[in-house]
Amino acid sequence: MRPDLRILLLISLLVLGSCAPEPPPYSGDGHLADQGFTAPDHRYVADIGAVDLTRTGSAVFHFSGLPTAHYVIGLQVPVPAARGAGADSSVVADVALQLVRIGEGQVLIITGPLRELDWASEPTPASSFVFRRKDYEAYFDAEPKEHYELRVVVNTADAAVPPGTRVMVKSGGWK
């Protein structure tokens, strides 16, 4: 390809790319952080809100404007993974997370004792991201115009879990 054609092609791509409609911004409960396209694990991280695992009850969250990506949903629990995971764990909290795409129906549901879910030591060893990895039951694809309702029910409380549990939605990264 001739050099002048390459320059013309590059300019055309830049002009066309700048004409693309801007996706709607994130809105609703919590906030969204973009870690940048070089983030190895989770480019987009939405901290949806707090839940209290020391009391039974439920909370409902609403949000929209997630960038187009593949996401996982779970809880950021202030408990080390070594203490929380496995059948011999002292964590007795039992939760249900139900994600519904408004107007379209249920996207996913995760239910059961936290000790039976997957525990990842992130972002620090003193905190764990708790989710269901098996068969991608906690994963979904999002588009910016979609609206979601997330219901979190604490079926069995656990007074030993310190305060600070957060509902999180995280996208994949390049790694």
**Using one digit for the tens of pLDDT, what is the confidence trace for 8-50?**
555 655 555 555 556 679 999 999 999 888 777 788 999 999 9
Classify residue 99: in a domain, yes or no.
yes
Q: Which residue has the higher pLDDT, 135 or 99?
A: 99
Is the pTM here over 0.75, yes or no?
A: yes
Residue 98 has phi, psi (to 5 degrees) of -125, 120
pLDDT tens sequence across 61-112: 999 999 999 999 999 999 988 888 887 888 999 999 999 999 999 999 999 9
> What's the rounded mean pLDDT across residues 158-167?
94
Confidence at residue 32, expressed as pLDDT on a 0 to 100 scale: 96
Classify residue 2: in a domain, yes or no.
no
Classify residue 150: in a domain, yes or no.
yes
CATH number at residue 153: 2.60.120.790
> What's the rounded mean pLDDT across residues 115-137?
85
Classify residue 39: in a domain, yes or no.
yes
Domain around 154: 23-171
Residue 38 has phi, psi (to 5 degrees) of -90, 0
Classify residue 9: in a domain, yes or no.
no
In the sheet with 57-64, reading across from the earlier edge strand, the strands are: 27-28, 57-64, 147-156, 94-101, 105-113
Classify residue 18: in a domain, yes or no.
no
The model's confidence at residue 124, banded by pLDDT at 50, 70 and 90, is confident
Confidence at residue 175, expressed as pLDDT on a 0 to 100 scale: 47
Query: Is the preceding omega at residue 162 within 30 degrees of 0, hence cis?
Result: no
Quote the number of domains for the chain: 1
Nearest to 120 by CA among 171, 90, 77: 77
Classify residue 16: in a domain, yes or no.
no
Classify residue 8: in a domain, yes or no.
no
The answer for residues whose C-beta is within 8 angstroms of residue 172's C-beta and 6 or more apart is: 41, 42, 43, 69, 70, 71, 72
Distance CA 131, CA 137 (A): 9
Beta-ladder partners of 33: 45
Q: Answer yes or no: is pLDDT of 129 > 50.
A: yes
Confidence at residue 84, expressed as pLDDT on a 0 to 100 scale: 85
> What's the rounded mean pLDDT across residues 157-161?
94
Nearest to 114 by CA among 81, 70, 151: 81
Distance CA 75, CA 128 (A): 8
Distance CA 160, CA 54 (A): 7
Residue 167 has phi, psi (to 5 degrees) of -85, 130
Confidence at residue 29, expressed as pLDDT on a 0 to 100 scale: 97
